[in-house]
């Protein structure tokens, strides 16, 4: 072998090794990330004092960082989503768990769901009244039942059987939400008198009565996506109304081939437009980015339909997008690339 040939063989070998080394490193360094939301809606900037903003942002960061810490330790995206959501459920600031809105009858009926993007397993609960953590119950439904969705008393009984903490319905009470129910009922009574129809009157309720909800999406070191959502639904909801949050494909969806999404907003529109699954399907079938798919659904499709709200979403590469067409959406994210965010309004 002449010298030139020998040198070129050595160079080829070295570059091949470098390539393999980088590939192995890239494999080890699978991106991981989490995004969370605490609801979208008519968040009034003038009423957002520095103190209030600090309280919301501190809680959002706490929830996000708890989920992120689990991901950094190599735990699953499912564990991260549950941990983040439970912190928000336990906080009276958000419309989920403690601090959930009231039904027309003055109770709390909670909805939640979770989906694993690798197995496409999912669990959901609707109209539950006594399980302390509806998202934990959704996870039990996914893992310990042969069903995808359980509702009402049966779901609460299943929660007890599974050993989950149960509370009196009044545990979810807060004065702020009660005052909101009283205002909503007053407006409903006035409108019902005028329109002679409860449903038409309900349609006129301002957005401030319609939103809240918490959710999380995450990508773990194994490349698995998970999405979860938990809510008290809509103030003064009646007749067993169920929103989009526990409906797989509407308020929650995850698929490792495309993305994971958790939604918040006017649930009826999110159900009819199948928002979470539509974003993932557009990515998969149209070959467009997560950001583009989510933007079209939230800012074109839903705006045209008259449905307000937003979503958080993540793809298998760890890209995160959090579009909303309402005045604000409580949200936060953190990823292994070093990016982190917490904010409420569009210009945050």
Residue among 234, 254, 275, 342 that touches ligand ASP (CB under 6 A):
234
Nearer to ligand ASP, 245 or 290 (CB): 245
Contacts of residue 151, defined as CB under 8 A and 6 or more positions apart, other chains included, come to 125, 126, 127, 128, 242
Nearer to ligand ASP, 37 or 221 (CB): 37
Nearer to ligand ASP, 99 or 243 (CB): 243
**Which of 242, 240, 264, 248 lies closest to 85 in space, CA to CA?**
264
Rounded to whole angstroms, the Cα distance separating 261 from 269 reads 16
Give Cα 239 distance to the centre of its chain: 25
Residue among 180, 226, 230, 231 that touches ligand ASP (CB under 6 A):
231
Give the three-class secondary structure for 343. Answer: strand
Rounded to whole angstroms, the Cα distance separating 184 from 51 reads 26
* Site stretch for ligand ASP (CB under 6 A), options 11-19, 188-196, 226-234, 288-296: 226-234
Look up 12 and say whether it is catalytic: no
336 touches 33 (CB < 8 A): yes
Tell me the per-residue interface mask from 71 to 100 with ligand ASP, x by CB under 6 A, - otherwise: ------------------------x-----
Rounded to whole angstroms, the Cα distance separating 179 from 236 reads 12
Residue with tokens 């989490």: 34
* Site stretch for ligand ASP (CB under 6 A), options 146-154, 228-236, 300-308, 332-340: 228-236
Number of residues that bind ligand ASP (CB under 6 A): 15
Q: Which of 12, 130, 174, 213 is catalytic?
A: 213
Residues 249-278 binding ligand ASP (CB under 6 A) are 251, 264-265, 267
Nearer to ligand ASP, 252 or 256 (CB): 252
Rounded to whole angstroms, the Cα distance separating 91 from 286 reads 39
Task: Give residues in contact with ligand ASP (CB under 6 A).
Answer: 39, 95, 211-213, 231, 233-234, 243-245, 251, 264-265, 267
Which residues are part of the catalytic machinery?
213
């Amino acid at each position: 072998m002449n010298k030139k040939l020998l040198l070129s063989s050595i160079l080829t070998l070295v570059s091949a090794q470098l390539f393999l080394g980088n590939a192995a490193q890239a494999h080890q360094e699978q991106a991981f990330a989490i995004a969370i939301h605490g609801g979208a809606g008519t968040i009034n900037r003038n009423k957002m004092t520095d103190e209030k903003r600090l309280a919301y942002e501190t809680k959002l960061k706490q929830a996000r960082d708890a989920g992120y810490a689990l991901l950094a330790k190599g735990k699953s995206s499912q564990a991260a989503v549950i941990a983040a959501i439970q912190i928000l459920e336990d906080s009276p600031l958000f419309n989920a768990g403690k601090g959930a809105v009231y039904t027309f009858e003055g109770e709390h009926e909670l909805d939640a769901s979770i989906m694993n993007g690798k197995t496409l397993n999912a669990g959901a609960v609707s109209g539950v009244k006594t399980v302390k953590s509806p998202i934990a119950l959704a996870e039990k439904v996914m893992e310990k039942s042969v069903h995808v969705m359980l509702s009402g008393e049966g779901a609460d009984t299943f929660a007890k059987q599974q050993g989950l903490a149960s509370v009196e319905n009044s545990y979810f009470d807060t004065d702020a939400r009660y005052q909101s129910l009283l205002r909503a009922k007053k407006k409903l009574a006035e409108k019902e008198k005028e329109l002679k129809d409860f449903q038409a009157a309900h349609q006129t309720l301002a957005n401030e009565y319609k939103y809240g909800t918490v959710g999380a999406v995450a990508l773990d070191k194994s490349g698995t996506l998970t999405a979860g959502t938990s809510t008290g639904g809509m103030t003064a909801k009646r007749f067993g109304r169920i929103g989009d949050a526990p409906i797989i494909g509407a308020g929650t969806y995850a698929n490792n081939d495309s993305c994971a999404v958790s939604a918040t907003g006017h649930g009826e529109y999110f159900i009819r437009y199948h928002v979470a699954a539509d974003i993932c399907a557009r990515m998969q079938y149209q070959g467009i980015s997560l950001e583009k798919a989510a933007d079209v659904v939230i800012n074109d499709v839903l705006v045209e339909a008259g449905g307000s709200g937003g979503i958080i979403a993540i793809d298998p590469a760890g890209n995160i997008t959090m579009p909303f067409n309402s005045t604000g959406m409580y949200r936060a994210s953190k990823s292994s690339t070093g990016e982190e965010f917490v904010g409420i309004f569009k210009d945050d």
